[in-house]
Structure 1
Amino acid sequence: MEIAVIGAGAMGSAIAGRLVENGARVVTYLEGRSASTIQRAKAAGMEPVGLDAVAASRLILSIVPPAEAVAVAEQIAVELRRTGRRTTFMDCNAISPRTMAEVAAIFGSDCGVVLDGSIVGGPPKPGQKGPKLYVSGDEANDSGVLVEHGLQVRRIEGSIGAASALKMCYAGINKGVTGLGTAMLLAAIHSGADEALKRELQESVPDLYAKLVHGIPDMYPKAYRWVAEMEEISDFLGKDDPAALIFRGMAGLYRKMAKDREDGGLLADQLDELNSGA
């Protein structure tokens, strides 16, 4: 069984590795990618091929940062039309239902089948079942082959957009809490209320504080990807929903944390120092 995975980041390479472990041949397209990405793909057992070979795959998974989702769809659709092939393309990215509809429109009816997928959970790890891959619009059970090769797939009712909506809601809660905690802890540090806030969180909401202690450092290397994801959530809520402004603000926060990482991590160091020994 040959499956194409576009995107050899932490999630894409780990998903590919799980498929390879369970007997699938996984191909990918690496032109223009960094040396570290190429090495990660190799370690996962992904085989680099040209776009023509990707288009020839029975199933193509797009697992890229949300800001790249439309461009990847356009690239694959152009190749499918050039070769006259048809395939099943599953967008697994953190995008809004509106963006997912744009992806589906790019493929039209002449390139094959488009499925709406969303990944909930971290990259696969040995001995663990996750993450969960939610899929909507899969009337023919084209995602069943992924189950056969080791992935945890949950088909949900609804057409294109249903799985993306689920991802927006889940990420809005999960990453929204991390962003809110980051913002308020930084505000406490800068105003001298940090140790008092830390103690109060430990006493009043210990489970929440434990989540922040783990989730905030885990966020630093991902912040640049979460910017577009927060913007997608804002788009999902719509301009008439006041809560959309919250996620525009979250995008700005994660943009600030991404820049902090590029600049040496001063804010991250302050947060880590406060939360050390928690």
Structure 2
Amino acid sequence: MSEVPQAFGRIALIGYGEVGRILAEDLRTQGLAVAAHDLKLQQPAQAAAPQAHAQEHGVQLHAQAAGAVAGADLVISAVTASQAVAVAEAAAPHLQAGAVFIDMNSASPGAKQRAAGVVDAAGGRYVEGAVMTSVPPYRIRVPLLLGGPHAAAVVAPLNALGFAAKLADERLGVASATKMCRSVMIKGLEAMVIESLSTARHYGVEDAVIASLYETFPGIDWEKQAAYFFQRVIEHGRRRAEEVREVAQTVREAGLQPWSASGTAERQAWVADLADAGVFGQRGEAGFARSADWRTEADRLLAAVAQERQR
């Protein structure tokens, strides 16, 4: 099998949502050839946005994963957590020998190990990737932990492209375990803040609760943090719910019952259902999930709950 290249020339993105588009933009500014595939391209009602973005930034779109990965020496999988193994299975037969496949999905260590088996058996080089915080503020320089036997060899070539990658461990599962355990806390905090402050808003005690939080944790701007949490869950609750279900599976793989993670997944999915129903405004509206005051979104949420009770 060929050595890992010192530089990547042709790059394929599997998943052309928020993360995929950000990576495409930053890679294309360097003049790199970028191809992409997303399941939404097979759905006419959802294909327009990715097609317009790809045309603007010079990304070659493919309706099937096979077309996107053919000839690529670097493939980046950035899809919803539940599709991590399926994407590896779809892409693996079409990888050129020695191609690096970076799985950036928020999947459990067990899922990553299954995906690695598929890719490596097909002659590719599977690298586990764990994105350690939200991508938009950092873009391509988002902190990225790499794992697996091929990981050390790709750190330098990736960082040459602008990534902020570092080796977690040569054992598969360590990087994703780090990510998943962090998500128990971070995604759980998102769900708890939405649940706590929405309930406080209902009882008219939100200012007292916020004041108490400031007193206990003075280093956090709770007003700003709450607005950010509401915004991110309203926009990406579906994806977050899938991730936290993988988090729950990670906890199970450790032999524990994922009581907290399971509840977090349900809360995130519930908010996503409300968003899909238009409770927070239609997607694309200027005000959608962009309120500087979390109270606006909490009021919308509570109004939807009240309406449901009256049915």
Normalised to the residue count of structure 2, the TM-score between the two structures is 0.77
Give 1:19 deviation, angstroms: 1.6
Aligned to 1:41: 54
- 1:63 partnered with 2:78: yes
Question: Once structures 1 and 2 are overlaid, which stretch shifts more, 185-194 or 150-159?
Answer: 185-194
Rounded to whole Å, the distance in 1 between the matches of 2:130 and 2:98 is 22
Partner amino acid, structure 1, of 2:125: V
2:295 partner amino acid: D
Alpha-carbon separation, structure 2, partners of 1:220 and 1:72: 26
User: What secondary structure sits across from 1:141 in the alignment?
Assistant: helix
Query: 1:39 and 1:153 mapped to 2: Cα distance?
Result: 30
TM-score w.r.t. the length of structure 1 is 0.85
Consecutive unaligned residues of structure 2, counting only runs of 5 or more, are 1-8, 282-288, 300-311
Q: CA deviation at 1:85?
A: 4.5
> Percent identity between the aligned chains?
24
Q: Is the 8 A contact 1:94 1:167 kept in 2?
A: yes
Q: What letter is aligned with 2:35? A: V
Change (3 A) 1:170 1:14: same
The answer to whether the aligner puts 1:189 opposite 2:197 as a matched pair is no
Determine the structure 1 residue equivalent to 2:4.
Answer: none
Which residue of structure 2 aligns with residue 164 of structure 1?
A: 176
CA RMSD of aligned residues (A): 2.8
2:10 and 2:127 map into 1 onto residues whose CA distance is 18
Q: What is the DSSP-based 3-state SS (H/G/I as helix, E as strand, rest coil) of the residue aligned with 1:37?
A: helix
Unaligned 5+ residue runs, structure 1?
A: none
**1:230–1:251 CA contact under 8 A, matched in 2:** yes
Cα drift, residue 159 of structure 1: 1.5
Partner SS state of residue 156, structure 1: strand
Contact 2:241 2:268 in 1 (8 A): yes
Matched, 1:32 2:77: no
Between stretches 15-24 and 45-54, larger displacement belongs to: 45-54
Aligned positions of 1:1-278 closer than 5 A: 1-30=9-38, 31-32=41-42, 34-49=47-62, 51-80=66-95, 85-123=97-135, 130-137=141-148, 138-139=150-151, 141-206=153-218, 207=220, 209=222, 210-238=224-252, 240-242=255-257, 244-265=258-279, 271-273=294-296
One-letter code aligned to 1:107: V
- Matched position secondary structure for 2:135: coil
Structure 1 CA distance, aligned partners of 2:167 and 2:151? 9
Is the Cα–Cα contact under 8 Å of residues 88 and 114 in structure 1 kept in the other structure?
yes
Q: Which moved more, 1:135-144 or 1:20-29?
A: 135-144
**Deviation readout 1:30-71 (Å, 9 max, x if unpaired):** 441521122233334322246245132111000111122122
Paired residue secondary structure (1:134): strand
CA contact (8 A) 1:118 1:135 kept: yes
Q: Distance in 1 between matches of 2:67 and 2:297?
A: 52
The one-letter code of the counterpart of 1:39 is A
Structure 1 residues 24 and 143: CA distance shift in structure 2, 3 A:
farther
Give the whole-Å Cα distance in 1 for the aligned partners of 2:21 and 2:297. 34
User: Are 2:13 and 2:68, in contact at CA under 8 Å, matched by a contact in 1?
Assistant: no
Q: Give the aligned length.
A: 271
Q: CA deviation at 1:117?
A: 0.5
Decide which moves more: 33-42 or 65-74.
33-42
Specify the code of the residue in structure 2 equivalent to 1:160: L
